[in-house]
Amino acid sequence: MIPRYTRAKMADLWTPEARFRIWFEIEAHAADAMVGLGIVPADAAKAIWERGAFDVERIDEIEREVKHDVIAFLTSVAEHVGPEARFMHQGMTSSDVLDTCLAVQLARAADILIEDVDALLVVLKRRALEHKYTVCIGRSHGIHAEPVTFGLKMAQAYAEFTRGRERLVAARKEIATCAISGAVGTFANVDPSVEEYVAAKMGLAIEPVSTQVIPRDRHAAFFAALAVVASSIERLAVEVRHLQRTEVLEAEEAFTKGQKGSSAMPHKRNPVLSENLTGLARLVRSAAVPAFENVALWHERDISHSSVERGIGPDATVHLDFALARLTSMMDGLVIYPENMQRNLDRLGGVVHSQRVLLALTQKGVSREDSYRIVQENAMKVWRGEGAFLDFLKADPKVTSALSDAELESLFNLDYHTKHVDTIFKRVFGEA
Amino acid sequence: MIPRYTRAKMADLWTPEARFRIWFEIEAHAADAMVGLGIVPADAAKAIWERGAFDVERIDEIEREVKHDVIAFLTSVAEHVGPEARFMHQGMTSSDVLDTCLAVQLARAADILIEDVDALLVVLKRRALEHKYTVCIGRSHGIHAEPVTFGLKMAQAYAEFTRGRERLVAARKEIATCAISGAVGTFANVDPSVEEYVAAKMGLAIEPVSTQVIPRDRHAAFFAALAVVASSIERLAVEVRHLQRTEVLEAEEAFTKGQKGSSAMPHKRNPVLSENLTGLARLVRSAAVPAFENVALWHERDISHSSVERGIGPDATVHLDFALARLTSMMDGLVIYPENMQRNLDRLGGVVHSQRVLLALTQKGVSREDSYRIVQENAMKVWRGEGAFLDFLKADPKVTSALSDAELESLFNLDYHTKHVDTIFKRVFGEA
Amino acid sequence: MIPRYTRAKMADLWTPEARFRIWFEIEAHAADAMVGLGIVPADAAKAIWERGAFDVERIDEIEREVKHDVIAFLTSVAEHVGPEARFMHQGMTSSDVLDTCLAVQLARAADILIEDVDALLVVLKRRALEHKYTVCIGRSHGIHAEPVTFGLKMAQAYAEFTRGRERLVAARKEIATCAISGAVGTFANVDPSVEEYVAAKMGLAIEPVSTQVIPRDRHAAFFAALAVVASSIERLAVEVRHLQRTEVLEAEEAFTKGQKGSSAMPHKRNPVLSENLTGLARLVRSAAVPAFENVALWHERDISHSSVERGIGPDATVHLDFALARLTSMMDGLVIYPENMQRNLDRLGGVVHSQRVLLALTQKGVSREDSYRIVQENAMKVWRGEGAFLDFLKADPKVTSALSDAELESLFNLDYHTKHVDTIFKRVFGEA
Amino acid sequence: MIPRYTRAKMADLWTPEARFRIWFEIEAHAADAMVGLGIVPADAAKAIWERGAFDVERIDEIEREVKHDVIAFLTSVAEHVGPEARFMHQGMTSSDVLDTCLAVQLARAADILIEDVDALLVVLKRRALEHKYTVCIGRSHGIHAEPVTFGLKMAQAYAEFTRGRERLVAARKEIATCAISGAVGTFANVDPSVEEYVAAKMGLAIEPVSTQVIPRDRHAAFFAALAVVASSIERLAVEVRHLQRTEVLEAEEAFTKGQKGSSAMPHKRNPVLSENLTGLARLVRSAAVPAFENVALWHERDISHSSVERGIGPDATVHLDFALARLTSMMDGLVIYPENMQRNLDRLGGVVHSQRVLLALTQKGVSREDSYRIVQENAMKVWRGEGAFLDFLKADPKVTSALSDAELESLFNLDYHTKHVDTIFKRVFGEA
């Protein structure tokens, strides 16, 4: 994880301390469950909770010798707990601890990401309502099409991140399972009730069938969900980058006091946040392919997934958390220039109304093909800078034979384009 | 799509005929909806349905001139319908037709894939029940661990594909939306009720807010779901490939009469189906990244996604359909060799029971660290081919001071490992 | 491969006929080589060439029975050649034929792609020279920076595709190897001289050590090279898409007679070719990951790579060929609007010269930090639309205490920015 | 970068100190070059070198205010150098420093990786020569095929990593360029001779045409080369994992004293290094796609690549360095079991010689199809465990009518399969 794209809350999930703490809880809860089964003396289970502690440096030291992290951890805990420690990990295998821990970490990471999206949704909704009727040109292919409103852009983003939230909720559900099933998942040495007990205590579902490990299709689906959310971040970031282009300048990232845009060009105000988000989206997405490749482990398990997850686990969650927070604050502070939106809207001399004219002509009985040709000819004159669209239409007998001046003028009214904005808002935000 | 990995039912969704037929239905339903709005005369709407037809070659011919597929299509239909055709596509934009059509195609593709998974689940369940207690060695890291059953392997696959099914159902839901919202999604020229009408007729939900196009995060999530399912296919295929290895030979793909394994080596029987599935999984997965990259379209839309989807739309669905069907038939016919499973199980002279011995020692008060060392020393002798594990244990005073011969012998009983198979089966398949 | 993105010359490499023809040549050359070794009678080798033929439908028919394509092919050829056919394929294995054939196909595909790049380079050079001094604004972060020339943009693209060409040449060299080494690459049943002979005849190098198959790191490197070239296509396509934006309109894809931009909006002229190229780049790139995944075949080989290559082999080469040709023709016809470039250049009221002013101030002894602040303050006034940059500077005592009006005016000369264009052109195109 | 997969030498390239040191050198060399141009006083250039220093914490502090890393760096240096510092960075832009620095870092990283491969090649050659004639079964599809030698496996890996080395050398050449061309690459404010001077001092080539940034196709090609090398690591790792399987056990990773294979199963010796390498390969490969996506920067540049490269720059180089070193030490210590190889070779009762028998039959005039059938029938009996291949052949009149017992016996000689090993070794390692 890259320090500058890291926030403490998410990063804290991934520290050695946090990981070992979860390991300890899993082991201690398991010991509790085994008391009921007569495997662990009640005193020992109590001692584990009471004297249970570990030392990160000591664990590292032991691991360098035994080359096995869970054994190193258990040895360190045993040094604090004393002889009762031998009752820990009874019939369990390392993966029972490691995989359940990863499930806890990813589920908690998902919780933070869902909170992040919630915060983003609040901002997007506010900006949507604020600019519900701030008209600007809609663009397809980067070319002026017909008017939309800035609020609609925000509503679209809101709807998209609502879907992203649902995907994160589903991903969290997929990943939040507990496996304490022993060496090859048969519960030969550990009763299924231990798994049930620990799962409940850790806020997880049980893994119906594990094979030493929790199956990695769950993790693949998890990281794929993150990749889709990251792609939605990229989409909104690219929108802002476009709007801030010098020639467009309909919106601008807030420029903080003291900030310098360019070491060489003092006049520059660059959309560096949204560009940064574009890059972060690529980074987060890059976790998906190795997560897919992790699924086909050999037989009951191989450990090839482990190094991958040591990377993508923290990286993808930390960077996505940062990106969502940055996007939220960027959208919150985004400076909107309605006057520039109007200026851009007027730029094409009215040809953005060409479809309405086309439709009006066909309604009057002109064939679709003829209407298209008539409108296109007049639009092209405007395109070449020869004048205004309405003027050309009024002067074209092929048009005026079907439409009066008054009818033509009415076709150039912007309200026409915003009449269903409220309908869309109700679909997206529900009834106010 | 690669002909040899193509099945007709799925491929038929993607023919030009199928596509144009869906286009036609969308346009004709939209015309019906517009009758109620007074935009289209009832006679015209009726004429469209009655005389509506198109000609694929004629469409191609027109498209070569106008370079626009929907216009070419409308022109061809108009040649059949006559003057009433001018009422088609009123206020609509090409993407209203194209994107809604793609939604229909992908939703239908998902239906087929879900059926495919259902067929696979039937086979997996049958094989699971058949071999519920067929004991074989479980392997972690490719190394013998402890006994499992072949039925458990099948139960694991069943559970994994059950999750895959849920992902496909979710992906279908995500993708099955209808957008008839006009040039930039504002419904300026087409009433929202048209969208609602067509959606209902085509079996789709409405897209709450579109921007000429249906947002591509939906498609990204769709292809990501396919990629995860493909990865699960790879996992099961790799399992079969391992089981068929010469040294293992616990299972074998059925060899059809007349089939030749190798042009050079007549003795060979190769797991070519499962190897093929491994490759197909890679192919299907390769759709995910371009689908992610398609999300960040510019402003209200650009058309960069289109060429990508012309490729991955048919390819990923067709190849996944084929792979699921091939996997089903492969698993259906898979020849299982229980006697080889037993032979492999016996190979290690009993060291697969080492964990039980370790646990028994700790239960008798030996420290975990000492127990581990004692067991490992004896296991390593077996590993070096010096004799049988039980014999060494019975001869080791460090062991015999804690465990009697009878106790040791009881630790070598296979039933110990299968005692919870039924519990797992109930979790996976429910109560019988 | 998608028909509309397919050109005949490249597609012809991938037909069954073309493949079987190469197979036949490999087998017939191998037979010739074996005449010298006394393994094949000279008459038989002659008969193979003379009567050698095959029938694609017949091969399909046989393959359905034997499920082995090379055996089916050999059987079909034998039906034409007669009894001498038994001398074909002596000591060879299917992969000797298949992998050498794929090497031939990919090498020929690379030849076509290199020709494609050469044609593109010709166009790029022509456009570069044509617009060597056509000044336009350079943009970083989408924000106006300082002047460049359109010719420089073309020179950059030329240099980038020159590197792409080198990568294709290297990729061709990597892939163009011949393996005729028998079942596991030991030459046990086929003398190394056969490989040498066939390699020379087919225009390939020998594979130093094969293992039934040619190692797939070669193919991975090949498809990765294609992916990088595709990314360069995307870069130039994105540049054109930006330049054609309504607000920018410095360049425009040529609009053919009869072409329709939008079914709904007759005024639109969309950069659909460059958008299409953006999508095609994603498609071509998607071959890289499965090609990487193909490298780690099991032991001496498994066949998982085969289905992948049936897809990506034709798809990536055909689509890249199409994309390069489309890019060439698009750049060839690209309409350049120098007057719009000038208009955009003037848009910022001269602040694009801010760095020169900054440098001039520091040269006069003002500290870098103070200079930056002074220039930024004046630039921001222009940004807010309050007036022209030069006017503000002339009115700022912090500026005028260091720079005279005449000095200031000289800092606004465009020639200053183009003085090294010729140097760069010499670096890129060499001395004229 | 993941600490446990990090080696100091490579990681040291990526510390803030190392980066700022390179920045400083670039700036100081540039100042030297500008002395000759009369832009920087000789005393100032001297002062920069003499008093030039920076403080990482101070830079962080300044950056938090100005939000621009190069400005923060220059400010920190200025605090040490004094007023002469204003002559630094004259006419340069941040990217001149950043991109040239990244080129230096990646070139040095490539140097380390090339050294890593060289060390690996030494080990592979040693193991190849050591086991040049250690015969083992070759496997295709995981099924026994015909004999090879372990030395051949090593020779194959040697040849593959030789190609990997060439790719790294090419990647290094691609990436090692210097750009000091100013705000948009025109050299408007900085003479091309400065770039030439700094390039020479930093061991780089000049970038023929830059656009503020060095074009990212270079970086894409760089990371793609790393991805291919990573895939080759995976291939060799997978080979070792297969050879260490319990049923195969032809080789085994060295087990260090004190190492524990499993917390639960004391008998286990797992191929954890090669599994780890498999995962690391996935991680390193995951850099390729975002590197491809970085190529299409907007216009003269956008900064979306930057966050990506902050991740993949260190991660991919550090993890690949670690993986190569781990692979080298793993291969160096790999324990080979020739007796197990022989045992596996004998497992199939001689059917691995089936191709020789097939060829001998055809040489005696039996048709290829008949020969295939005869051999397959006898092989299948052996497969079913009914006896030894040679015995069945000697008893089959269809065989004995063509081949005498002596002829048959001679076909079972292993030397037959190793007769060209020396030829292959000469191809791979050259003449000894």
* Whole-number Å distance between alpha carbons of A205 and A39: 24
Show Cβ contacts of residue C91 under 8 Å, excluding neighbours closer than 6 positions.
B264, C39, C182, C188, C189, C190, D355, D359
Which one-letter DSSP state was computed for residue C328?
A: H
Query: Where is pLDDT greater, at B384 or C238?
Result: C238
Beta-bridge mates of residue D139: D144
Tell whether ipTM is more than 0.85. Answer: yes
Touching D: C residues 45-84, CB under 8 Å: 74-75, 78, 83
Query: Where is pLDDT greater, at B126 or D269?
Result: B126
Summarize pLDDT for C201-254 with one digit per residue, the tens. 999 999 999 999 999 999 999 999 999 999 999 999 999 999 999 999 999 999
Helix, strand or coil for residue B140? strand
Give residue D352's pLDDT. Answer: 81
Task: Report residue A252: phi and psi, to 5°.
Answer: -155, 135
Show Cβ contacts of residue B161 under 8 Å, excluding neighbours closer than 6 positions.
B117, B120, B121, B124, B229, B232
Touching B: A residues 182-201, CB under 8 Å: 182-189, 191-192
Q: Are strands D143-149 and D135-140 parallel, antiparallel or unpaired?
A: antiparallel
Q: Are strands A177-178 and A205-206 parallel, antiparallel or unpaired?
A: parallel
Alpha-carbon distance A31 to nearest alpha carbon in chain B (angstroms) = 14
* Whole-number Å distance between alpha carbons of D136 and C396: 86
**Tokens 């579109």 belong to which residue?**
B210
A38 by Cβ neighbours in 10 Å (0-12 / 13-18 / 19+) ranks as exposed
Give residue D383's pLDDT. Answer: 76
- Distances in Å between the alpha carbon of A344 and those of B359, B424, C381? 77, 65, 21
Touching D: B residues 210-239, CB under 8 Å: none
Beta-bridge mates of residue D140: C301, D143
For residue D265, pLDDT over 70 is answered with no
**Average pLDDT taken over every residue of chain A:** 94
Listed range (A372-381, B334-343, D345-354) with the worst mean pLDDT: D345-354
* Whole-number Å distance between alpha carbons of A153 and A134: 11
For residue A179, pLDDT over 60 is answered with yes
| ∠ CA D230-D236-D238, rounded to 5° | 100
Alpha-carbon distance B341 to nearest alpha carbon in chain D (angstroms) = 12
Summarize pLDDT for C342-378 with one digit per residue, the tens. 999 988 788 888 888 988 998 898 988 899 889 988 9
Give residue D68's pLDDT. Answer: 86
* Whole-number Å distance between alpha carbons of D198 and D202: 6
Give residue C362's pLDDT. Answer: 87
| ∠ CA A377-A380-A383, rounded to 5° | 160
Strands (E), B264-344: 335-336
Show Cβ contacts of residue D421 under 8 Å, excluding neighbours closer than 6 positions.
C186, D132, D133, D149, D151, D152
Summarize pLDDT for B84-115 with one digit per residue, the tens. 998 999 889 999 999 999 999 999 999 999 99
Beta-bridge mates of residue C136: C148
Which one-letter DSSP state was computed for residue C396?
A: -
Residues of chain C with pLDDT > 90: what percent? Answer: 83
Residue D384: band (very low, low, confident or very high) from pLDDT cuts 50, 70, 90: confident
**Cβ burial B109-127 (10 Å sphere, 16+ → b, else e):** bbebbbebbebbbebbbeb
For residue D233, pLDDT over 80 is answered with yes
Q: Which helix (H) or strand (E) holds C144?
A: strand C143-149
Residue B315 corresponds to which tokens in the numbers above?
A: 């390819």
The pLDDT of A114-128, averaged and rounded, is 98
Give residue D28's pLDDT. Answer: 97
Q: Which residue of B has its CA nearest to D274?
A: B141
Show Cβ contacts of residue D401 under 8 Å, excluding neighbours closer than 6 positions.
none
- How many C-beta neighbours within 10 Å does residue A335 have? 12
Cβ contact D286–A283 (<8 Å): no
* Whole-number Å distance between alpha carbons of D336 and C225: 37
**Cβ burial D295-318 (10 Å sphere, 16+ → b, else e):** bbbbbbbbbbbbbbbbbbbbbbbb
For residue B249, pLDDT over 60 is answered with yes
Alpha-carbon distance A297 to nearest alpha carbon in chain B (angstroms) = 7
Alpha helices by DSSP H, listed for D150-253, are 150-175, 192-202, 217-244
Q: How many CB pairs under 8 A join B and C?
A: 166
DSSP D239-302: HHHHHHSTTT-SEE----TT--S-SS-TT----HHHHHHHHHHHHHHTTHHHHHHTS--STTB-
Q: Is A410 a catalytic residue?
A: no
Show Cβ contacts of residue C73 under 8 Å, excluding neighbours closer than 6 positions.
C20, C23, C54, C59
For residue A266, pLDDT over 60 is answered with no
Cβ contact D298–A241 (<8 Å): yes
Length of chain C: 432
Q: Is D242 a catalytic residue?
A: no
**Tokens 């091939």 belong to which residue?**
B326
Select the residue of B264, B347, B351 nearest D267 (Cβ to Cβ).
B351
Contact present, D279 and A308 (Cβ < 8 Å): yes
Residue B261: band (very low, low, confident or very high) from pLDDT cuts 50, 70, 90: low
Confirm whether pTM is higher than 0.90: yes
Q: Which of A234-243, A387-396, C258-267, D337-346 has the highest mean pLDDT?
A: A234-243
Amino acid symbol at B328? T
For residue A432, pLDDT over 90 is answered with no
* Whole-number Å distance between alpha carbons of A310 and A306: 6
Contact present, A365 and A402 (Cβ < 8 Å): yes
- Chain D positions in Cβ-Cβ contact with residue A262 (cut-off 8 Å): 68, 93-94, 183
Task: Report residue A325: phi and psi, to 5°.
Answer: -65, -40
* Whole-number Å distance between alpha carbons of C206 and B115: 48
- Chain A positions in Cβ-Cβ contact with residue D285 (cut-off 8 Å): 289-290
Strands (E), C245-290: 251-252
Residue B103 corresponds to which tokens in the numbers above?
A: 């939604």
DSSP D92-145: --HHHHHHHHHHHHHHHHHHHHHHHHHHHHHHHHHHHHHTTT-EEEEEETTEEE
Summarize pLDDT for C85-135 with one digit per residue, the tens. 989 998 899 999 999 999 999 999 999 999 999 999 999 999 999 999 999
Alpha-carbon distance A424 to nearest alpha carbon in chain D (angstroms) = 33
* Whole-number Å distance between alpha carbons of D266 and B356: 10
The pLDDT of D24-51, averaged and rounded, is 96
Q: Which helix (H) or strand (E) holds A199?
A: helix A192-202
Touching C: D residues 138-167, CB under 8 Å: 138-142, 145-148, 152-153, 155-156, 159-160, 163-164, 167
**Average pLDDT taken over every residue of chain C:** 94
Show Cβ contacts of residue C53 under 8 Å, excluding neighbours closer than 6 positions.
C77, C80, C81
- Distances in Å between the alpha carbon of C335 and those of C135, D49, D170? 15, 51, 37
Give residue C359's pLDDT. Answer: 84
The pLDDT of A218-237, averaged and rounded, is 98
* Whole-number Å distance between alpha carbons of D151 and D124: 9
- Chain D positions in Cβ-Cβ contact with residue A298 (cut-off 8 Å): 241
Alpha helices by DSSP H, listed for B182-303, are 192-202, 217-244, 272-285, 288-293
Question: In order of start, what are the domains of chain A with their CATH numbers?
Answer: 3-87 (1.10.275.10), 94-344 (1.20.200.10), 351-411 (1.10.40.30)
Residue D346 corresponds to which tokens in the numbers above?
A: 């004998």
Reference B381, options B405, B339, B404, B350; nearest CA is B350
The pLDDT of C9-28, averaged and rounded, is 97
Cβ contact A292–B288 (<8 Å): yes
Residue D21 sits at the chain B interface (C-beta within 8 Å) = no
CA atoms within 13 A on the CB side of B427: 21
